[in-house]
Structure 1
Amino acid sequence: MSTAPAANPAPAADAADYHTPVLLDRCLDLLAPALAVPDPVMIDCTLGMGGHTAGALERFPNLTVVGIDRDPQAIALATARMARFGRRFRAVATTYDAVDAVARDASRRTDGTVDAILMDLGVSSLQLDAAARGFSYARRAPLDMRMDQSAGRTAQDILDSADERELEHILRAYGEERFAARIAAAIVRRRADNPVTTTDELADLVREAIPAAARRSGGNPAKRTFQALRIAVNSELELLERALPRALNALRVGGRLVVESYQSLEDRLVKQVMAAGASPSAPADLPIIPAGAEPYLELVTHGAEKADAA
């Protein structure tokens, strides 16, 4: 991992004008009790354009935030946006499963812990709205989909090299696509003569591969395929699976973790980890909970909270 800023960042106003963070006030309300200490430290595991970080730094004047992102463009935009906060902010270019190492470096405690951690999962609006990145089926672009365009295989690489069984697994496991087999077969047939090479071509192929009745509801029929490829390209679920326990272990006693998730696969992983930590580790039929088997987490919401339309 490396510390940013990146060279020649965009003007700070660009990011602020371009992006409104989801559930900002609610996230900060949930984090606030953990930040009511002298000189608190928070890790923003998914910095993006810095909307949540900027809001936190404005609301808590003694707070220091370390922002993690693997996307150099996001690092540049957020760093420019946060320049007014001086040394209260810094960015680290890495994947967020390194949250424990980042926390140890940022900590003001001998045990290497921090006060609060925020995760805003999935693809950012910066990536979706940049047509050339290939995340959106709404704009013609090469099939890249990498959050860090300097490394790793692209969606095009997967479509060109994966066999039909692997493609079906990716679509079914990461997109929960019920027509995964039909779409995978269509991709393999197509690449024998005229491989798919752009986002609009892939969207058209998916539309043609599924039954006509399935095209008439539920939005663009390609959305699950694009989600699946993006998750596979960026190893998103594997990163989240590693990051969640590391984030919890990086919090001090009384610290708080807030996670925003946007699809059922992320949501399921988060709920499993939270539920496990909030439950005794002893067998359920014991009359008492033995010492050391008590829950180590306290849930501060009753289940997941959903954003309203605004």
Structure 2
Amino acid sequence: MSKIVVGVDLGGTNIAGVLIDEKGELKGSKVWPTEAEYGPEHILRRIIELIRTLLEENGFTLNQLQGVGVGVPGLVNTREGRSIISHNLPGWKDIAVAQKIHEEINAPVFIENDVRMAAWGEKLLGAGQDKEDIVCLTLGTGIGSGIFIQGKMFKGRKESAGEIGHMTVEKDGLRCNCGNYGCLELYASGRGIARRAKEALANHTSSLILKLVNGDINQITAATVCTAAKQGDELALKVIKETALYLGIGLANVANLLNPQRIILGGGVMQAGELLLEPTREVVYSRALPLNREVEIVPAKLGEWAGAIGGAMLAKMQFIEGRSSLEWVW
């Protein structure tokens, strides 16, 4: 009888799940709406039902399920399996995620921050699987990261390492929600790109960006800017190039600090592709110290499935292979 594990990625909009066997082979996947507006208990029921549905639709039973790995947005306590808080999920505060899921499926459950779980996905099966020292960044509404040193994830003394999005890149910049000023997140995240595009449109009313949203400036997103840039819109290209400058400054600092072999960039902002990547590389290679310019800067491979895949692979390592987390976390 096959042994299987499930990985779940909880997002504010969708919940994604994958099922893999003891060989690491994908046996099923599913994504459906989170329905976060109905509160924490409803979300937990959705996760449990997703796990059960994945098993049933792919011919497996709960008796074959060896464990589950869940990526949760926001602050988490991995040792206790608790989600401390997630601002994208209404009412979500101090939730015993692992315990509540375990009570329903009778299998061990562990949780991790969703961005770190996505980083694990890329490290084990994506763009980072052939490297030991890598940094994975998710450029979405905000900016999060996962740092690997000699093949192990570095989380810091209180699991708060890797807040690259709150690195200062503009000394007199805007105030961030974190209380700092000039954070990278304010300039290179999806939200930051949209804000700067709206500001720039004050003097460029003929931009394709406006046409894409039928003149409603409030509907502009980073995706809108990326679409316009790919079609050669001058303003959009300017915003993307400016984004590359800020991102490149941040990544040059990361390269100098950690000397990674590879930096992997994922998230919605990467819809811009090489329009963002190439000028970002140029900034990094012009600002980093000579030995640190050897870092490769590449796009992520797993897309929206990275977090679920990371959760499943860690569940396999822990609950099927019996490996201690001490083997893969500093």
Same fold (TM over 0.5): no
Tell me: higher relative CO, structure 1 or 2? Use CA pairs within 8 A at least 6 residues apart.
Answer: 2
More strand by share: 2
TM range (shorter): 0.3 to 0.5
Q: TM-score w.r.t. structure 1 length?
A: 0.33
